[in-house]
């Protein structure tokens, strides 16, 4: 099983050359913000996690459009106007990958309230948009992918829709996930499972969760305050295409202990087996047959080996470096792009 140390080491950020900031490419070390940036103080930001894979079609961003559209929806929910279209952000992500010479990487777009005003009313603070990318191994480690992870149900509950917006991928909300993650790691587990405000299974700190019971794949629904995962949508479609019945319903905590298989999915984690929950061995205590099948099918999809899912891949071409110059001059030390809405 995966070790806590491996999970920590896999989170190290490896610098690249360039970061896209408000329509311009700047050097990694110059991509800075003021210490009085509104989002730094109040968590007023929304973000995405996206992966680019070295596929059979070349470097390809996985479900680029769906991620950028969710980013814009999250921004709308928190009253942040974004001066770029989804298509412009998709193009910026592709060009950033190409300019950094990467074939496989993690991509982090973030929209946040910037420097200019302070206080709980954010409406006068500017909205800044940044995209970074770097090489990042699977979030829970290669050993976790192979042999599974141990998880514990957190004492911290998932944020309630009465207080915040679970459907938004918002920066400040992730303090909830951070508390659960730290608690699980201090206790010697690789991941935490959060319950919703009614005590039903919700999700991991950075992943959606599923169980196999009686031949059926079951996962919490939107009513359980989950984040609508892009990888989750993909896994559910692949499972249905393979002939499995997939249902969304309330899951009691004890159902996880009694399940035949449990697994998690997310952009950073990809698809990882869960072999223990709260020290209860799941099934045989080894990654299950269905989990392995879905892992393999998902791996084929993200690497372009499955033609039926190639529409999910946004291929990065060298031509992405040749976008026409915009009207505004680029400041010294930056390279301008026209990825604007």
Active-site residue set: 169
Angstrom CA distances, 215 to 239, 244, 260, 290, stand at 12, 8, 9, 9
Task: Classify strands 216-219 and 246-248 as parallel, antiparallel or unpaired.
Answer: parallel
Token pair 């996985």 is found at 62
CB 256 within 8 A of CB 211: yes
Question: Helices in the chain by DSSP H: which ranges?
Answer: 4-9, 38-42, 64-77, 86-99, 142-147, 175-186, 230-241, 253-258, 289-302
Please give the DSSP secondary-structure letter assigned to residue 307. G
Could you tell me which residues are beta bridge partners of residue 25? 20, 335
Could you tell me which residues are beta bridge partners of residue 109? 131
Task: Classify strands 50-55 and 58-62 as parallel, antiparallel or unpaired.
Answer: antiparallel
Distance between CA atoms of residues 276 and 295, nearest Å:
18
Cα–Cα nearest to 173, from 38, 47, 36, 266:
47
CA angle in degrees (0–180, nearest 5) for 235-136-187: 80
SS3 277: strand
Distance of CA 288 to the CA centre of its chain: 24
CB 36 within 8 A of CB 287: no
């Amino acid at each position: 099983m995966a070790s806590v140390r491996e999970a920590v080491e896999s989170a190290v950020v490896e610098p690249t050359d360039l970061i896209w900031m408000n329509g311009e490419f700047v050097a990694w070390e110059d991509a800075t913000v003021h210490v009085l940036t509104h989002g730094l103080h109040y968590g007023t930001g929304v973000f995405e996690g996206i992966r680019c894979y070295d596929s059979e079609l070349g470097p390809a961003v996985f479900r680029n459009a769906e991620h950028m559209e969710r980013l814009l929806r999250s921004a709308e929910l928190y009253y942040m106007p974004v001066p770029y279209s989804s298509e412009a952000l998709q193009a910026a992500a592709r060009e950033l990958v190409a300019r950094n010479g990467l074939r496989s990487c993690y991509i982090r777009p973030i929209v946040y309230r910037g420097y200019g005003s302070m206080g709980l009313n954010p409406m006068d603070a500017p909205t800044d948009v940044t995209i970074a990318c770097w090489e990042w191994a699977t979030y829970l480690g290669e050993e976790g992918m192979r042999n599974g992870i141990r998880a514990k149900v957190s004492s911290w509950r998932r944020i309630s829709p009465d207080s915040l917006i679970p459907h938004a991928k918002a920066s400040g909300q992730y303090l909830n996930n951070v508390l659960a993650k730290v608690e699980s790691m201090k206790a010697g587990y690789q991941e935490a499972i959060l319950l919703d405000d009614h005590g039903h299974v919700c999700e991991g700190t950075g992943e959606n969760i599923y169980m196999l019971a009686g031949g059926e794949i079951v996962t919490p629904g939107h009513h359980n305050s989950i984040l609508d995962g892009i990888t989750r949508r993909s896994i559910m479609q692949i499972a249905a295409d393979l002939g499995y019945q997939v249902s969304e319903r309330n899951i009691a905590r004890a159902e996880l202990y009694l399940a035949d298989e449990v697994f998690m999915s997310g952009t950073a984690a990809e698809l990882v087996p869960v072999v223990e929950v709260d020290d209860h061995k799941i099934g045989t205590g080894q990654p299950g047959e269905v989990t392995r099948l879905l892992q393999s099918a998902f791996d084929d999809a993200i690497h372009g080996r499955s033609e039926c899912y190639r529409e999910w891949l946004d291929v990065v071409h060298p031509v992405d470096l040749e976008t026409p110059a915009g009207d505004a001059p680029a400041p010294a030390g930056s390279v301008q792009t026209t990825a604007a809405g």
